[in-house]
Structure 1
């Protein structure tokens, strides 16, 4: 991407985010309790424009919805046979916990550092586009939250990573990406994930200044990605709710942890958050290439660390967040980069 374009996008984007938060905080309050909440819509966008690059994890888009609290998963928007299966899962069916169901649709793009050449690149991340949906069933109480997520989708040309990236570059006047003919082949994606979050410490009050520290542990299994993750996050500010709102493990469901256990203590809130986590990765299709066919791939170390720093604002039914994620690059790449940076924008509407 051309530097001048990236710089203009960076500065204009920063002003747009600032304006967004000012408008958000000035919205008339209209939601004070979770008792009448029917659900929450969520949109998140990841992009590495903030690092003025177009390589490795370059773009991600997720649209999700999470239900209100359920007495039973049979009340959720899932087929009966799925609801019966969910009621057999451990931890999330304990008595006295608030249950919820979430659905999402995600699109992700990975590219190597050199996007000008049309020749195959053997020592960097292969081109891949991923399109997948997910179903999450979770439960929470005052001290902990548990969630199981099931993914299904496709990777390869059918995911339209080439068209999405190059059409966006055409719209903003950036250079076209020329190596998509070398992307990995079509493959059906099936994955399962589990995440546990526990409130380790709460200080202050939800009705004013305060915050908390939340521990995170989880794992995934499947041909999309198999990994184990552990992390710890912290939040501090005004009106921090008693939810579990820290970034999920990589590719995790953004909607989980977004609902307070009791009710919002204030009509509006503004707080900072940070999360540091580490993962051990056994396989990742966007690095390893296809499971059952020969394709481009890259050798990598299994350990990876991520740091998220961000700001969350809420007023009434609306909330928004902006964060910067820094992640280690666990493979020898042509530019010898050790870290990658990308930004994340999140917008929620609760009704």
Structure 2
């Protein structure tokens, strides 16, 4: 690995440890019974179109997200299981926090997403393909559960444009894996702050939580939407799971706001468990900054399609404190003239603390 790549990897690791330190310190203040039933967790997810197996390097070409998940909370402002900074912040975000539920937790994540056109060799503006865009975003999520019902709300704050460091991250990754540099990053969207709110509700049916020692299935419906200059849409969909000792949570799809080990669960299991899952999502989209371009200034854009969706499938494996999930997604064309339907893969590794 080149020295510059090693330096970037070291910085990323140092930043991750810096984020984890307050969460680990807060976890030590939690009641032992809370930790035994719903321990905090850390998840790391990587999305890449090359993982989709279609040799694509376009569209949503790469993403990475680090997520910290709290244990079950008595409340969002005074519970010692949360770091002091999170409790202070939550006092100003009370309208986003649901109340009167059996279980609730908080999720914090930080991630980056990169979007590129098909032809990486061109340095000019490619008018009939999507803009170059990089997004760097932090998310504060609030989950609340009653039995087989869940609601989740996320506040999203971030930036699109050169400040999101898309060119640097993509070139560093391609140098490590001996790929070609994308040459059109000078045409990327301009810097713009991003603010948005995402809200979803979920309902689950089936065996999860009742098949601790055997085979089972469940189905999780979701519906909701997003409002903001990053994206504005309404969506709905369904996830189905089948396997050995299904987790008592609300889905294994890593892209869902409350998916992949982030929603409140019940009980902590030892030994092996595994399951397969399939998911669908349909969105009526009013805005997508990666296709519509900058909000407050002129920029490159394409003719976005108002109705899009995707199907996905994968497998999740759990052993003790560790969980691994691998998924593949096939999407509809997102804009007029798009040559290929999006295909990408996602890998998530999670650990209970």
Specify the alignment match of 1:84 in structure 2: 91
Relative to structure 1, the CA distance from residue 345 to residue 326 in structure 2 (aligned partners, 3 Å threshold; closer, same or farther) is same
Specify the alignment match of 2:27 in structure 1: none
Specify the alignment match of 1:140 in structure 2: 145
- Structure 1: segments with no counterpart, 5+ residues: 1-32
Deviates more, 1:169-178 or 1:188-197: 169-178
Specify the alignment match of 1:25 in structure 2: none
1:310 equivalent to 2:311? Answer no
1:62 equivalent to 2:65? Answer yes
Do the aligned partners of 2:222 and 2:236 also contact (CA within 8 Å) in 1? Answer: yes
- Structure 2: segments with no counterpart, 5+ residues: 1-33
1:343 equivalent to 2:331? Answer no
Give the TM-score, by structure 1 length: 0.84
Q: In the TM superposition, what whole-angstrom CA distance separates every residue of 1:31-77 from its partner, at most 9, and x where no partner exists?
A: xx963544100001100013211111000100001100001111233
Report how far residue 189 of structure 1 moved: 0.7
Q: Give the whole-Å Cα distance in 1 for the aligned partners of 2:279 and 2:338.
A: 29
Alignment of 1:115-154 (within 5 A): 115-154=120-159
Specify the alignment match of 1:155 in structure 2: 160
Do the aligned partners of 1:147 and 1:256 also contact (CA within 8 Å) in 2? Answer: no
Give the TM-score, by structure 2 length: 0.83
Do the aligned partners of 1:271 and 1:313 also contact (CA within 8 Å) in 2? Answer: yes
Q: Give the whole-Å Cα distance in 1 for the aligned partners of 2:94 and 2:163.
A: 34
Report how far residue 79 of structure 1 moved: 4.6
Q: 1:100 aligns with which of 84, 92, 105?
A: 105
Q: In the TM superposition, what whole-angstrom CA distance separates every residue of 1:205-255 from its partner, at most 9, and x where no partner exists?
A: 1321102011011211101111111001111000101111232666x3656
Do the aligned partners of 1:86 and 1:137 also contact (CA within 8 Å) in 2? Answer: no
Specify the alignment match of 1:73 in structure 2: 76
Q: 2:171 aligns with which of 166, 171, 177?
A: 166
Aligned residues: 314
Q: Give the whole-Å Cα distance in 2 for the aligned partners of 1:236 and 1:254.
A: 16
Do the aligned partners of 2:251 and 2:258 also contact (CA within 8 Å) in 1? Answer: no
Backbone CA RMSD of aligned residues: 2.1
Relative to structure 1, the CA distance from residue 348 to residue 287 in structure 2 (aligned partners, 3 Å threshold; closer, same or farther) is same
Q: Give the whole-Å Cα distance in 1 for the aligned partners of 2:311 and 2:64.
A: 20
Q: Which has the higher contact order (CA 8 A, sep 6+)?
A: 1
Relative to structure 1, the CA distance from residue 48 to residue 89 in structure 2 (aligned partners, 3 Å threshold; closer, same or farther) is closer
1:233 equivalent to 2:239? Answer yes
Q: 1:212 aligns with which of 218, 225, 233?
A: 218
Specify the alignment match of 1:272 in structure 2: 276
Do the aligned partners of 1:208 and 1:266 also contact (CA within 8 Å) in 2? Answer: no
Q: Give the whole-Å Cα distance in 1 for the aligned partners of 2:342 and 2:304.
A: 15
Do the aligned partners of 2:253 and 2:327 also contact (CA within 8 Å) in 1? Answer: no
Do the aligned partners of 1:102 and 1:255 also contact (CA within 8 Å) in 2? Answer: no
